[in-house]
């Protein structure tokens, strides 16, 4: 890691620890869940760049991306094509609005999801992946690069599902902004559909990997059921602590169908909900 990044991490960590200690003395341990975003692992916004390549390079140099496959897949998909707020905001390492009361997750969270699921998404070996809450289509495209290869012509299939038709339409338009994206859609290697992602998409399963891009109220059994053996689910879930805490849960199904669940890290996602009523 470059010296400037190490210094940034050191001073950021020190300030966070001191601030949390002061708050703890004032309010007690109940304040901690409200300030999870001050911990070092969630200070990745410092990786923002002026271009897509610079953003991904910063994430890689900071150790938030560790696999060259993930780095290359994210580099090849211009985040600005999927972030309508502004071209410059697209390269900030923070969530951005995409309309319909939805957001595109921060790049470091997309990187974390890809790294977690990577071993279940081998390149050009026919892996099938479900992206729940696909939103603007960015991560769906990145995952397609991982399972179909850099040229988008390898074996593999990614289904992106969202409950808002406007987002499904937007994601298709976004993908068609690049030649590779058009090819992925036209060949059927990427399918973007409208539906209740909490129920999965059994028509396209079973899946080697399932990513959920919004916070669920529970670990939906329907998603676990649609995993292959082996397979992995990456899902943010709301805690019942009364403070609105959310955690990433990693759910693995082994080759014999045995399921194991692990709580990973604190996060902040928009909720996985029904489509808004008109």
The domain locations on the chain are 65-267
CA–CA distance, 273 with 88 (Å, rounded to integer): 29
CA–CA distance, 82 with 86 (Å, rounded to integer): 10
Annotated catalytic, 101? no
Secondary structure class of 7 (helix, strand, coil): helix
CA–CA distance, 104 with 36 (Å, rounded to integer): 20
pTM of the full predicted structure? 0.82
CA–CA distance, 55 with 92 (Å, rounded to integer): 7
DSSP string, 65-107: ---HHHHHHHHTS-GGGG-TT-TTGGGSSS-EEEETTEEEPPH
The one catalytic residue in 16, 41, 101, 105 is: 105
Q: Which CATH superfamily is domain 65-267 in?
A: Vaccinia Virus protein VP39 (3.40.50.150)
pLDDT, tens digit only, all 278 positions of the chain: 444 444 444 555 555 555 545 544 554 444 334 333 434 344 455 899 999 999 999 999 999 999 999 999 999 999 999 998 888 899 999 999 999 989 999 999 999 999 999 999 999 899 999 999 999 999 999 999 999 988 888 899 999 999 999 999 999 999 999 999 999 999 999 999 999 999 999 999 999 999 998 888 888 999 999 999 999 999 999 887 767 788 889 999 999 999 999 998 877 777 766 655 55
129: β partners:
158, 209
């Amino acid at each position: 890691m470059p010296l400037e990044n190490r210094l940034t991490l050191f001073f950021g960590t020190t300030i966070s620890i001191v601030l949390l200690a002061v708050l703890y003395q004032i309010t007690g341990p109940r304040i901690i869940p409200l300030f999870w975003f001050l911990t070092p692992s969630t200070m990745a916004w410092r990786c923002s760049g002026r271009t897509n390549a610079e953003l991904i390079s910063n994430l890689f140099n900071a150790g938030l991306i560790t696999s060259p496959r993930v780095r290359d897949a994210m580099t090849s998909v211009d985040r600005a094509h999927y972030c309508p707020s502004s071209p410059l905001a697209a390269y900030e390492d923070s969530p951005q609005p995409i309309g319909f009361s939805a957001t595109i997750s921060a790049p470091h969270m997309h990187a974390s999801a890809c790294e977690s699921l990577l071993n279940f998404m081998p390149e050009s070996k026919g892996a099938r992946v479900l992206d729940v809450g696909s939103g603007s289509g960015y991560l769906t495209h990145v995952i397609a690069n991982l399972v179909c290869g850099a040229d988008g012509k390898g074996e593999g299939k990614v289904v992106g599902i969202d409950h808002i038709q406007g987002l499904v339409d937007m994601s298709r338009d976004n993908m068609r902004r690049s030649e590779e994206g058009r090819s992925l859609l036209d060949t059927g290697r990427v399918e973007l559909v409208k539906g209740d992602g909490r129920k999965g998409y059994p028509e396209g399963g079973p899946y080697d990997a399932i990513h959920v891009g919004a916070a669920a109220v529970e670990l939906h059994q329907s998603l676990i059921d649609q995993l292959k053996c082996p397979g992995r689910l990456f899902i943010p879930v709301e805690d019942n602590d009364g403070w609105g805490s959310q955690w990433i849960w990693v759910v693995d199904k082994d080759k014999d169908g045995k399921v194991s669940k692990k709580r990973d890290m604190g996060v902040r996602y928009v909720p996985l909900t029904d489509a808004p009523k008109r």
